[in-house]
A and B are shown apart, each in its own frame.
Chain A
Amino acid sequence: METSAAPAKFSVNVPASSSAITPGTASTLIEIENLDFYYDSKQALFDINLKLDDRRVTAFIGPSGCGKSTLLRCLNRMNDLIDGAHIKRGSLKIRGVDLHRKDVDAIELRKRVGMVFQKSNPFPKSIYENITYGLRIQGVNNKARLDEVVEKSLRGAALWDEVKDRLHESGLSLSGGQQQRLCIARTIAVEPEVILMDEPCSALDPIATAKVEELIHELKKQFTIIIVTHSMQQAARCSDKTAFFYMGKLIEYDDTRTIFMNPGNPQTEAYVSGRFG
């Protein structure tokens, strides 16, 4: 993890209101340029160039080991936690700020770029405490404020009605689908700009999956979402744009409807049609 004596706060210019973005159009939020990424001497990403839209859902697809999760983890510097993982060339910027600049504090960055993992990982605490954990470590202790955030986050994660009467029960008492939505609620409680989702439904049944997908559709009004998925139908249903990766390279990036109706690259077509992978 990057550290420095006096880390600069990762700062972003969040628009004052959603009116800052014209409906129906999308501006670039994240810009990845010429990115080469290595695990020790093994190159995992090759010259990735990608612009991701603000308040849109982008799906990363590709066979296992193609680099999609590696790229996702670059976006909140989770790879800093892996020995030998490093960027050799290129940059990742959010609103023009290079995430890997030495003065960018990774902890601050992760407040702005939240993450939901494949397996739901609620803390062994109450539902209420799961949501307020991030705020408490930021020093927020005002009960009324915390109550407000808990309700807002659980409503945002479409979980409020199911848990409002048992907020002080363990988060681990919830079903798998509810736990995953609790993790999403925990992520949005700190009001990030970007939510990274690494196969968020792979351990869920179809009903829980449908709820999370519905939630993604709602969340994109407020957040920029990047989702890694192995389900082609999920990518087709949930995302506005899709990036297809193969062996560490970005093969094709386009509107989702183009990728699934008329992909430009034969490798993309073969993958989305299930002919390889």
Chain B
Amino acid sequence: MKRFFDTELETFRSNLILMGETSIRQVRDAIKALVEGDVALADMVIAADDEIDNLEVKIDEEAMRYMNLRAPIATELRLVIVGMKASHDLERVGDEATSIAKRAVKLAAESPLKPYIDLPRMANIALEMLRDALDCFLNGDTEKAIAVVHRDAEVDAINKQLYRELSSFMIEKPDTISRALELMFISKSIERIADHATNIAEEMVFLAQAKDIRHREELKKSASI
């Protein structure tokens, strides 16, 4: 039976999907701007952050209105709670993309410290993680979401490796310090994006199965069935 207010929930879902797609686009463009030294693209990323911020506010308003007036239960309740949490994570992803874009503008004015290989590789993993977490939202594929949680370690490992490598640069050639620091911050931003993707994946498992797997390794294993 369709209820007269079901469209409100459909709009809520659509806005969350739109926010996810916009966040993915922002990260992809920020990395592209870094690698290609494309200042114009970086500026577009910085300007577009408002889109994500506005969506976060809209999703929060819709969620509070729905909880207040429609008293959701079961799957609907989980959807509204998860939607609010995921939108907060996506807003932070947008902030990290903006931060990367701002650093890309600074780095574009100098010669590259080294070829950009690890950062795009790391960013691709983080983007795949985001995509898979959002796919779970669309189709309830919790196996994909659990895989996201486990992939976070890959990104952490690359971040640590880059930290060591960039530290060596700074020790050996002090004139590289400012560039190396910018790259370190970018690496950290990508690592944070992967963390947010992990959070979203965990939230999607809760949405699909009502299992809270955060900080609980044994549940992550059982939820992957």
Contacts and interface: CB of A to CB of B under 8 A. Distances in A.
Interface of A: 232-233, 236, 260-263, 269-270, 272-276
Nearest to A270: B1
Contacts of A270: 1
A273 B76 contact: yes
Contact of A272 (B1, B3, B74): B74
Interface string B60-91: 00000000000111111110000000000000
A5 to B, nearest CB: 52
Interface string B178-221: 00000000000000000000000000000001100000000000
B5 to A, nearest CB: 10
A275 B3 contact: yes
B75 A269 contact: yes
A269 B75 CA distance: 8
Contact of B74 (A233, A263, A276): A263
Interface residues of B, number: 12
Contacts of B76: 273
B73 A236 contact: yes
Interface of chain B, main secondary structure: loop
Interface-centre pick from B74, B75, B78, B210 (highest chain A CB count, 10 A): B74
Contacts of A232: 71, 73
Given A262-B74, A273-B73, A275-B1, 12 more contacts: A232-B73, A233-B71, A236-B73, A260-B73, A261-B74, A262-B75, A262-B78, A263-B74, A272-B73, A273-B74, A273-B76, A275-B3
Nearest to B76: A273
A236 to B, nearest CB: 7
Contacts of B77: 260-261
Contacts of A275: 1, 3
Given A233-B71, A236-B73, A261-B210, A276 B1 contact: yes
B210 A262 contact: yes
A235 to B, nearest CB: 10
Interface in B1-40: 1, 3
4 closest A-B pairs by CB: A262-B210, A276-B1, A272-B73, A275-B1
A275 B3 CA distance: 7
A233 B78 CA distance: 16
5 contacts: A260-B73, A272-B74, A273-B74, A275-B1, A275-B3
Contacts of B71: 232-233
Contacts of B75: 262, 269, 273
Contacts of A233: 71
Contacts of B78: 261-262
B156 to A, nearest CB: 32
B48 to A, nearest CB: 36
A88 to B, nearest CB: 33
B2 to A, nearest CB: 8
A263 to B, nearest CB: 6
B211 to A, nearest CB: 9
Contacts of B74: 260-263, 269, 272-273
A247 B15 CA distance: 39
A263 B78 CA distance: 12
Nearest to B5: A274
